[in-house]
Structure 1
Amino acid sequence: MNIITPIYPLTLLVLAACSTAADPASQTASAANTTSAAAPAPTAAAGDSKGTIHLVVAGGPHAGTYDAVMHEGGASYGFAGKGQFGNQYSENDKKPNELSSVQLVVDDVKGDKTATSGFQTTISFGPLLGGYSLNVNTLRDASRPEGKGQLSLTYGGGKGPATTHLTGETAAHEKFDLTINATEVATAD
């Protein structure tokens, strides 16, 4: 058993709290990078982005389309354990109807392509603490499995890039379709 897995919720919370911008001007610029409804996808200046997120939620109070640019955090491989891929995106000061966080952990990543139903994701709206979240946890050693889904990851190793696509359904039957295009991947090697 991987001893790091039981502390994932705490790790994700710490990462979310640490990824905020320090100055108000930067926070204002970041807030403009998340959209809801059918607004156009945000764009980022070359070298200013670690990737993009596209999310479609069907059902529930946050049904709609959301797009975001990852300026901090982003994709990682090997930090949470051998063969584990992750993604971390969080922004403070979001309104209750705005995408504020996408956390993802994928087990057993091997080779260029991985298809699995074993992953954990938390997608949050509004304030990072106390906001509304969609949760799916189907990791093989999950202490409280919830929801279901299917994930495909294309990642050739090294510094990336990586593309993650997943479809999920929470225990409350909220369905979502998430695509993360990471331009770079931080590695533990």
Structure 2
Amino acid sequence: MKYFNGSLLTAAITIALLSGCSTNHQAETLAEPTAVESADDFDFEAGRNNGAWGAVYMSPEELAKPQVDIVSYAGIPAMAEDPEVQKWNQVFGESNGYHSTDGRELYHRSCAACHMHDGKGAYGAGYYPPLADNSKMASKFYTIGILINGLRGMPSFHMMMNDEQMAAVTQYIMRDLNGLEATVTAEDVAQIRHDNPPGYDPNE
């Protein structure tokens, strides 16, 4: 019983001492109040422009030059003068559509990367079915339908090729890759082309 009462007394004293430490009064400190800069006043790029990020790679002469952004657009040519853009426009033009109506050229520019130049298809990150010696290619409307709408991983060429171009590449696939005596016309494509192109996702 004495032990029990002693424990209660100890606990009561501890609680009293702890509660005495709790107060709403905040003691003043010797530190001077510091002005906090707002996000609007802070220059987040100052360290970068002073060479802090790239100082290890910069010579004293480079660091002494006037401060400029590390990203400089001075050496970038105008869009119309960019050699890469000019190469792109030679094939696709401003409308991102093919210029050529040559079936062989269209096939090798747009189809051969997946189906191979000989049309025999390939295995790799995916399966690219052969277009050569493929009995499905005997139907020109089957091939045209895939060019218009895409199929699984293959994108739609609805926005890239007009009726004449689709007819030309379909005829190349039928004649040159499958040895079929067939004539494919722009009118054949127009029969099944619709006004609502699929999305850019091949799965749509």
Q: TM-score, normalised by structure 2?
A: 0.27
Higher helix share: 2
TM-score, structure 1 as length reference: 0.29
Give 1 or 2 for the bigger CA radius of gyration.
2
Bigger fraction of residues in strand:
1
